[in-house]
Amino acid sequence: MNWVALKMLTGDRAKYFGLVFGVAFASMLMSHQVSIFCGLMRRTASQILDVRDASIWVCDPELQSVDEIEPLSTTALHRVRSVPGVRWAARLSKSLGRIRTADGLYRTAIVMGLDDDSLAGAPQQMIRGSWHDLRQPDGVILDDAGYSYLFPGEPVILGRTLEMNDRRVVIVGICRVAAPFQTFPVMYCRYSQAMQYVPRERNALCFVIADAHPDADPRDVCRRIRDRTRLAAYDSWSFVWLTIGYYMRSTGIPVNFGITVGLGFIVGTAIAGQTFYLFTLENLKQFGALKAMGVTNKRILAMILLQAAVVGGLGFALGMGAASVFFEVTKDIYHLRGFYLPWQVAVGTAAAVVVIMFLASIVSIRRVWTLEPAIVFK
């Protein structure tokens, strides 16, 4: 009977391919949009994820995301260091600066100022050079995508100079970092340099990053920091989710992507449901003949579900394949880097396809379930 069900399914090639295309389109649209949404949310916390040597972030209590700049007092660093359970603490600044390239153009960059002594928060994935080279006069490290943006089509050459706030900048290393939400080059330098590269403020310290003793729970240490300093303190993942939550509440990103995903689901269900029902109507006599031969309703139900499973499986595979190809092709494009297809999205899309095919087959099942065998003689 399975062979009969598949033969009936592929008998009308136009409707068969229409079914598969509808499910493939819905799968591609849903997985594509959800993946981009996840990538954007990950981008909002990229600077947190790139700092791998610190487990604690201390900031102003009013700060809602890592992209906000709320200056701390100069005593914040010493107060954090005095809290029991803190193994070390270091300064970290984050700001936006303007880079003047060799051809006279200005480009905005994210400037990360690292503690002069420890260089805590330095990039871990170096492509050229070493983060120790930041101790060289005017030395900075650029991310690889930022270098390609500032010097399009040119090979990586260490020692090239730029200009920021009328001061010389020497590229001493190239690193790889997570793509930021703001698609600007990311530049690492010493804290004292960062104060010269960006407009001065009375208090320029943005964060204090710290690490807990091996035998201390970072969450307990964060609680002690909050109690003793009256500053906000988060472990790294709590700060990541704080930042993501801020963007989800304060922007229209979740609503816009949710509408697109919902439309993909509705369109997929409508196309699959209508086409599947028309396919069933055209095969009523065949189903009636099967009933007249003694085939039970349960067996016919299994045949319809097999047809739905075949269409859903092929459509899902094609849709996910198209989405994967898109992310593979665009992974090296500057503004689209950092987006990928998480396995959780694939699982969620598969579940959505199951629901789509179930809804699409309900009407057909009901129509065949009540079918009289006598229809074969009409």
Q: Would you write out the chain's pLDDT as a tens digit for each of its 378 residues?
A: 566 666 776 766 777 788 888 889 889 999 999 998 988 888 888 889 888 889 999 999 999 888 888 888 888 999 999 999 999 999 999 888 889 887 788 889 999 999 999 999 998 899 999 989 999 999 999 999 899 889 888 899 999 999 988 889 999 999 999 888 877 899 999 999 998 887 665 556 889 999 999 999 999 999 999 999 999 999 999 999 999 999 998 888 889 898 989 988 888 888 888 887 777 777 777 777 777 777 777 887 888 888 888 888 999 999 999 999 998 888 777 677 777 888 899 999 999 999 988 888 887 777 777 766 655 555
What DSSP line would sit under 330-363, residue for residue? HTTSGGGTT----HHHHHHHHHHHHHHHHHHHHH
Residues 6+ apart with CB under 8 A from 48: 57, 66, 236, 239, 240, 243
- Any domain includes 353: yes
d(CA 112, CA 131): 13
- Any domain includes 235: no
- Any domain includes 324: yes
- Any domain includes 276: yes
The answer to whether residues 322 and 180 belong to one domain is no
SS3 91: strand
Domain membership of residue 99 as a residue range: 73-230
- Any domain includes 60: no
pLDDT of residue 1: 58
The answer to whether residues 84 and 178 belong to one domain is yes
Q: Which of 349, 340, 364, 334 is nearest to 149 (CA)?
A: 334
pLDDT of residue 274: 81
Whether the full predicted model's pTM is greater than 0.85, yes or no, is no
Angle between helices 297-330 and 284-292 (to 10 degrees): 140
The answer to whether residues 206 and 279 belong to one domain is no
Which pair of structure tokens corresponds to residue 7?
């033969």
Which runs of E-coded beta strand occur in 67-206?
A: 86-100, 106-114, 126-128, 139-143, 161-164, 167-175, 186-190
The answer to whether residues 214 and 104 belong to one domain is yes
Which pair of structure tokens corresponds to residue 171?
């590229």
Total number of domains constituting the chain: 2
The answer to whether residues 129 and 40 belong to one domain is no
pLDDT of residue 2: 64
pLDDT of residue 369: 73
Which runs of E-coded beta strand occur in 4-65?
A: 56-59
- Any domain includes 240: no
pLDDT of residue 200: 64
CB 56 within 8 A of CB 211: yes
Q: Which of 344, 291, 343, 349 is nearest to 316 (CA)?
A: 349
- Any domain includes 40: yes
Which pair of structure tokens corresponds to residue 31?
């997985």
| CB-based burial label for 289 (10 Å; 0-12, 13-18, 19+) | middle
The answer to whether residues 37 and 115 belong to one domain is no
Task: Find tokens 């003689």 and name the residue.
Answer: 377
The answer to whether residues 150 and 7 belong to one domain is no
The answer to whether residues 170 and 89 belong to one domain is yes
The answer to whether residues 260 and 133 belong to one domain is no
pLDDT of residue 178: 85
Q: Which of 286, 308, 306 is nearest to 295 (CA)?
A: 286
- Any domain includes 52: no
The answer to whether residues 86 and 202 belong to one domain is yes
The answer to whether residues 168 and 115 belong to one domain is yes
d(CA 314, CA 217): 48
d(CA 134, CA 236): 24
Residues 6+ apart with CB under 8 A from 231: 58, 59, 60, 61, 72, 76, 79, 80, 208, 225
d(CA 303, CA 285): 15
The answer to whether residues 211 and 264 belong to one domain is no
CB 197 within 8 A of CB 165: yes
CB 86 within 8 A of CB 206: no
Q: Which of 230, 260, 289 is the last residue of a domain?
A: 230
